[in-house]
Amino acid sequence: MSLPLSRIDYAAVGVTSRGTTRVFSAKEHKQTQKFAVADHDGILHVYGVKKGELQVSFKSLPGPRINKLVLGGTGHDKIYIAQGNTVKGYTKKGKLFLEFDTNLIDPISALYVLGPDLAACARDLYHRYHDCKDADSYLAGETLYDVVLLPTDGSFIFAILACGDCAIRVLHGTKTPAVLRLPSVPTVLSLYREGDVESKERVLVGTIDGKVEITSLDTYELQDGLDILIGRQDGTVEIYTFPEEDMLPSLRYRYVVPKKLFSQNASESISSVVGGIIGAAGYPEVLVTTYSGRIFGLTTKPPGLLEADQNDGLIKLKVEIEQLQEKLKEEKETASFSVDPLAPLILSVNHRMTLNREDVSYSLFIELDTPIDNILIQSDTPIVLLDVESNSAVVSLSTCNPREGNFVLATYRCQINTNHLEMRLRTIEGQPGTLQIYVTSQVQPKCCRKLSIPIPALSLHVRQHEVENPETRTEGPFNALRLIGSFTIAEIHAWLSFALPDVPERPLLEEGEAILSYVSSFIGSVLKCRYKKGSAVFLGENISTVIILRDILTREATKRKIKLDVFCDVSDGSISRVLELVFPQLNAVDDLITKVKILNALEEWELKENPKENLCTEYQELLQKESEIKSQMEKDSELLERLHAVITDLYVDWERAKRSRRISSKDAVEKLGAALKSRELAQVLQVFVDANNTVPAPSSCKD
């Protein structure tokens, strides 16, 4: 890595949202720049470094939490903050010049100011104001993560939206937006800039699935050439060179925010990275803000020159700490029970659960603003917790009784100074439920925050967007589920969100009909949903998917006392289709298991020494790839069982749908056992067909 940077700490504020730190332009070239930070206590801070010392030039009073901070105005010297659904404007000196209630129902999550234009996004709604008057708006129907406005030559403005359906939408006036599909959900938009000059045509996009979610982006010239600055959820700050034509960006520097003292791997997510000259004139640096509100710089100033700088700051800080300790002692002694009604919120938990398509498991990320003592996970549905290498907490599975609604009770006792924890878990399709998570903080008096995360029935399905997967494979044949009843489109949309993950905020209507398509990340079978007022059609390649969907939808309808007519058309061809999808995987796993068996045998027979002399080329190759094979095996040691379970479920559901017969999965396993062992698709298929011949059962379905 070609860039030596050293860390200097500046200050600590409250918990911060993403994109709440900005750097002002410098008055003179290469002079230190001021910066603004806003936190969840609703406080806006403006800091600047003078004579090597950090000074607060302005600090607002506390208020509702601030979700976003942007700069606007000529010369980028006006601060705009989003607080609930209000936008406030401050000058650099701290004078409030604007307080504007946007009348948006949901709190503002993304904000952008360009000249007299102000764009605000709340949930799935984009709204633009011109001189604080409504200009235009757009209902995306998808969660909007970020917004950027770009000027055009005319009076129009381009609005660029980062949307939850893996798309960037470009709005131009009131025309239908242009859609740019991405492989993953975009979370951050940042204008390409060179120094203070922002580009009018280039925008950087950070996505959720860039290995670790990108939380903040900027471009800045740190040393010879423009760099891309990236902040991530796992606490890494990365700096890449800006790619020239046809060149891949190269990594110049990586920094993982460590937490002090004993903990390993502990860090916290980055909420902002901005380039600027902050600590010392002439030395460009990266200004970083973390979730819990730590602000520090990664400076190009050589470390030898740093030490002496901060002595005064240290003394000041020590005094502050003493005062705080004094105050705490007082509090403890008086133990007053008066509660300050304006007291800020405590225990902010930041969490996210995402599906890893690679190994079809969920990552659960939990972050607290104070050190975590322990986390308790309770599940009312069967799930499997997997080990995460970076997670250093001591895991313990408690005994539990499924009859009391506890399928998993697991505690993660954290090492000292752990602020965030990543866990992995595996869900089972057709077993919906809720995870209840209790996060206990280490700070006295101890409190805990309870989270509930629903697990949808078809938890392993991933939403598909139109242009994704250009290599269009042939789809179908499909099993069809038709529902007719007196439901509204909003109702069926709501029911679907119990069954499927990532259902958009609002139904996406096209000519009165909403369309959603999903693919199973595990086996690759397709599910298509089309629904409108009073009727809905679901086409699924996998009969199990259709049956699960049917169960959930009819249950929801019954709950609301809505009568449904349900028609289920089973397609015989769909069975071989699903088997065709599963078999390659099955064979691959089988292959892998055989290889591991051979390796183990070689080890037991002590034949690993001198493979060149003693073994055939096939085994030599195996030995060479040993660690690779074994790690692959470890990645998913139960894959074979899971694939078998898919086929078993398929059989059970097939019997249920085709012949209205319920058989237990134990019976199904017995029937399929020999055929599965043979690894012959035809044989397995025969089992499905056979039952058809031997037991003529009444079938209500048409073929």
Partner 1 sequence: MAAFSLNIQKHIESGLVTSGKFDGSHACLVAATYGGNILVHSPHRQPQITSHDHEQSDRKLSWSGELAELHIGTEITALCTGRLNDDERDILLIGTASHVLAYNIEDNSDSFYKEMSDGARYIMIGKLSWLPNQVAIIGGNSSVTILDSQGAEIFWTVVGGTVTSLAIFDFDGDDENELITGTKESEIKVYKKDNLLWETKETASINTLTGLPNRRFVYSVGNGTLGVYEMAQRLWRVKSKHRVVVTRSFDLNGDGTPEVITGWNNGKVDARSFNNGEVIFKIQLSAGIAGIVEADYRRIGKSDLIVVSSAGEVRGYSSSSTMDTPEPGEIMRDLLAKKQVLQMELRQRGASVPNMYHGTKLAVSLMTSNGAARVALASGPGLFIHCAIVFTEGVFEGETLVVHPNRPRGELEIELRPPKNAPVDMYVKVCVGPAGADLLQVFEMTRQLPRFCMYQIIERPEQITEDFTKNSVTAEFTERLQRIALWLNQNLVLPEEFEIKENKPNNEGIEIWLRGMRDNKIHCFMANSTGKITIQTEDIIFAGDIVQSLSLYLGLRELSSEVSFPAEEKKMLDALERVKELKEIDIRLQAEAANDTALLKNLIIRLEDARILENIDDMRKRLVQLKNVNADLIREHEIRMKSYKELTANLKQLNLGVQHAARLRVGKSASNTVAQCRAAIQDENSKALVLAIRHG
Map the footprint of partner 1 across residues 400-429, applying CB under 8 A. 400, 404-406, 409-411, 413, 415
d(CA 697, CA 683): 22
600 sits near partner 1 (criterion: CB under 8 A): no
State in angstroms the smallest separation of the CB of 52 from partner 1.
13
Would you tell me how many other CB atoms lie within 10 Å of the CB of residue 698? 7
Q: Pattern of binders to partner 1 over 270-299, x per CB under 8 A?
A: ----------------------xxx-x---
Are the C-beta atoms of residues 461 and 554 closer than 8 Å to each other? no
State in angstroms the smallest separation of the CB of 215 from partner 1.
20
3 sits near partner 1 (criterion: CB under 8 A): no
C-alpha dihedral sign at 289, 295, 297, 303: negative
25 sits near partner 1 (criterion: CB under 8 A): no
447 sits near partner 1 (criterion: CB under 8 A): yes
620 sits near partner 1 (criterion: CB under 8 A): no
What phi, psi does 295 have (nearest 5°)?
Answer: -115, 125
390 sits near partner 1 (criterion: CB under 8 A): no
Kindly tell me which residue out of 25, 55, 390, 396 binds partner 1, with binding defined by CB under 8 A: 396
d(CA 221, CA 20): 21
61 sits near partner 1 (criterion: CB under 8 A): no
User: b or e along 668-689 (b: 16 or more beta carbons within 10 Å of the residue's beta carbon)?
Assistant: bbebbeebbeeeebeebeebbe
8 sits near partner 1 (criterion: CB under 8 A): yes
State in angstroms the smallest separation of the CB of 248 from partner 1.
26
What phi, psi does 332 have (nearest 5°)?
Answer: -65, -40
User: Judged by CB, which is closer to partner 1: 234, or 653?
Assistant: 234
685 sits near partner 1 (criterion: CB under 8 A): no
Please, which of residues 450-509 interact with partner 1 by CB under 8 A?
A: 450-451
Please, which of residues 303-342 interact with partner 1 by CB under 8 A?
A: 303, 306-307, 310, 313-314, 317-318, 320-321, 324-325, 327-328, 331-332, 337, 339-340
Kindly tell me which residue out of 3, 6, 242, 683 binds partner 1, with binding defined by CB under 8 A: 6
State in angstroms the smallest separation of the CB of 621 from partner 1.
18
User: Judged by CB, which is closer to partner 1: 320, or 580?
Assistant: 320
State in angstroms the smallest separation of the CB of 37 from partner 1.
14
Secondary structure class of 683 (helix, strand, coil): helix
User: Judged by CB, which is closer to partner 1: 45, or 88?
Assistant: 45
Q: Is 333 exposed, middle or buried (0-12, 13-18, 19+ CB in 10 A)?
A: exposed
d(CA 501, CA 543): 19
Of residues 550, 539, 602, 541, the one with CA closest to residue 572:
541
Kindly tell me which residue out of 74, 444, 472, 610 binds partner 1, with binding defined by CB under 8 A: 444
Tokens (6 digits) for 533: 């007022």
SS3 per-residue string spanning 71-129: EECHHHCEEEEEECCEEEEEECCCCEEEEEECCCCCCCCEEEEECCEEEEEECCEEEEE
Please, which of residues 358-377 interact with partner 1 by CB under 8 A?
A: 369-371, 374, 376
Are the C-beta atoms of residues 204 and 230 closer than 8 Å to each other? no
269 sits near partner 1 (criterion: CB under 8 A): no
State in angstroms the smallest separation of the CB of 466 from partner 1.
38
Please, which of residues 248-267 interact with partner 1 by CB under 8 A?
A: 259-262, 264
d(CA 110, CA 113): 11
